[in-house]
Amino acid sequence: ETGVTQSPTHLIKTRGQQVTLRCSSQSGHNTVSWYQQALGQGPQFIFQYYREEENGRGNFPPRFSGLQFPNYSSELNVNALELDDSALYLCASSSQGIVSYEQYFGPGTRLTVT
């Protein structure tokens, strides 16, 4: 086990709704990255948070947003949910600064949009 926790485990939402996913990083880690993993594919980078600021972003629209808190935990918010947002959402924590190396993943949140 990595010590990275995510909640909830599973979630079902309706198209157009909003969702908030949560992640607690491993003790001693100050950086959190979020990834989206569609069924049968590798994880795709959404964004990374370091020192409570977005540190980099992948090819995802602005309706994907996030926060990092002083205790390094993080939230991923998705507005105006679409059917294609159905996926496993993973957070990964690391102990590096701007350039992160080893990233340790949580178990993920399975989001289903109907």
Partner 1 sequence: GESVGLHLPTLSVQEGDNSIINCAYSNSASDYFIWYKQESGKGPQFIIDIRSNMDKRQGQRVTVLLNKTVKHLSLQIAATQPGDSAVYFCAEKAEGDYKLSFGAGTTVTVRA
Asked if 65 interacts with partner 1 (CB under 8 A), we say no
Token pair 């950086």 in the structure block, residue: 31
Q: What is the 3-state secondary structure (H, E, C) of 37-92?
A: ECCCCCCEEEEEEECCEEEEECCCCCCEEEEECCCCCEEEEECCCCHHHCEEEEEE
Asked if 105 interacts with partner 1 (CB under 8 A), we say yes
Site string for partner 1, 29-58 (x = CB under 8 A): ----x-x-----xxxxx--x------xx-x
Interface pick for partner 1 out of 90, 93, 111, 113 (rule CB under 8 A): 90
Among residues 2, 97, 1, 12, the alpha carbon closest in space to that of 55 is found at 97
Least distance in angstroms from the C-beta of 5 to partner 1: 10
List residues near partner 1 by CB under 8 A: 2, 4, 33, 35, 41-45, 48, 55-56, 58, 90, 92, 98-108
